[in-house]
Amino acid sequence: MPRLAVRRDFLHSSTLLAVAGIALIAAPHGQRSAVAFELDADRDAFTPSAYCVGPDRGLVEASYVFIDNLSGLPTNNYPELLIRQGANEWWEWRFGVNYGIGSQGNVVTSVEVGEGTLDGSTLYESSILYGFKLATSHQDGFLPDSCFIMEAATPTYGDVFGTVPVATIVAGWEFWDDWRLDSAIRYAYSEGAVNWFSRWSPSVVLRAPVTERWEVHAEWFGSYTQGLVEDTQRPFFSPGTHYSITRNVEIGLRVGWGLTDEAAPFFSDAGIAIQY
């Protein structure tokens, strides 16, 4: 059997096991309690949290991302380190670093690494991220919790150069039993293999607590380019879960599948968040 087919069979088997685990976690466990351990990490899903970390509080987030690209080599991203430091109740500072290896860029997390090379060769990039997050409203009836994130990613080594500005608007509502519906729209001005282009990334996620430590979610998000020689449309469906080991440590896993022929067939994202 060809090596590519073996790899895809392995990924599909791993995906089924992950989904089965998420379904088991989501099974009823009696009455739900409040999510007392929630850290509001931004990397739990593609859609960021609608909250800032708060004054005199910090959050360190990191993850490893694998993307099974349609052609060429897979993409591997790590550590996707993000440090969020609260300045007050409505403002936080953000700083991060990342290293990416792959042939098709990265469109499943908030890390921008261009759109990849035209010939399918490997793309390398290390980058730093810096910016801020501003809380703009708190939920009051139909008025949502909302925030604005302004960041920039600057390559420090690799095949792609030029600072990438990224702006994100997030809005969310809390419903019964601490369920949440969050949505976001992200805009990035990125460097491609030939020219700079715009990337629009809408998303929506439904989050449901299972216990005070467990939460599961289901998400749709997409990446839509504007300005490339051949623009791409890459929507994804992605279930996920996270578990709070302590009040200050949280681990999470999400997987996803591309919904069009242009999107990567599968990705996985395993991460951790530590509050200090």
CATH number, residue 139: 2.40.160.40
**What pTM was computed for the model?**
0.84
Q: How many domains does the chain have?
A: 1
Q: What is the mean pLDDT of the chain?
A: 84
Ramachandran angles phi, psi of 201, nearest 5°: -135, 90
Q: Cα–Cα distance between 82 and 67 in angstroms, integer? A: 20
With a cut of 90, say whether residue 72 has pLDDT above it. Answer: no
**Model pLDDT, residue 147:** 98
Q: Tokens for 128, please give them.
A: 């730093």
Q: Decide the pairing of beta strands 180-191 and 75-88.
A: unpaired
Confidence band (pLDDT; 50, 70, 90) for 194? confident
Confidence band (pLDDT; 50, 70, 90) for 21? very low
With a cut of 50, say whether residue 13 has pLDDT above it. Answer: no
With a cut of 90, say whether residue 182 has pLDDT above it. Answer: yes
Q: Tokens for 45, please give them.
A: 């899903």
- What percent of the chain is modeled with pLDDT above 90? 61
Q: What is the mean pLDDT of residues 46-74?
A: 92
**Model pLDDT, residue 120:** 54
Q: Cα–Cα distance between 11 and 7 in angstroms, integer? A: 6
Confidence band (pLDDT; 50, 70, 90) for 22? very low
Q: Cα–Cα distance between 121 and 103 in angstroms, integer? A: 6
Q: What is the mean pLDDT of residues 115-125?
A: 61
With a cut of 50, say whether residue 171 has pLDDT above it. Answer: yes
The CA–CA distances, whole Å, from 244 to 39, 81, 120, 210, 257 equal: 8, 19, 39, 12, 26
Please, is 46 exposed, middle or buried when counting C-beta atoms within 10 Å of its C-beta (0-12, 13-18, 19+)?
A: buried
Least confident of 6-10, 139-143, 251-255: 6-10
**Model pLDDT, residue 185:** 97
- Model confidence over 199-236: pLDDT tens digits? 999 999 999 999 999 999 999 999 999 998 889 899 99
Least confident of 4-13, 81-90, 183-192, 223-232: 4-13
**Model pLDDT, residue 103:** 62
**Model pLDDT, residue 193:** 66
**Model pLDDT, residue 113:** 56
Q: Give residue 180's domain range.
A: 3-275
Confidence band (pLDDT; 50, 70, 90) for 67? very high
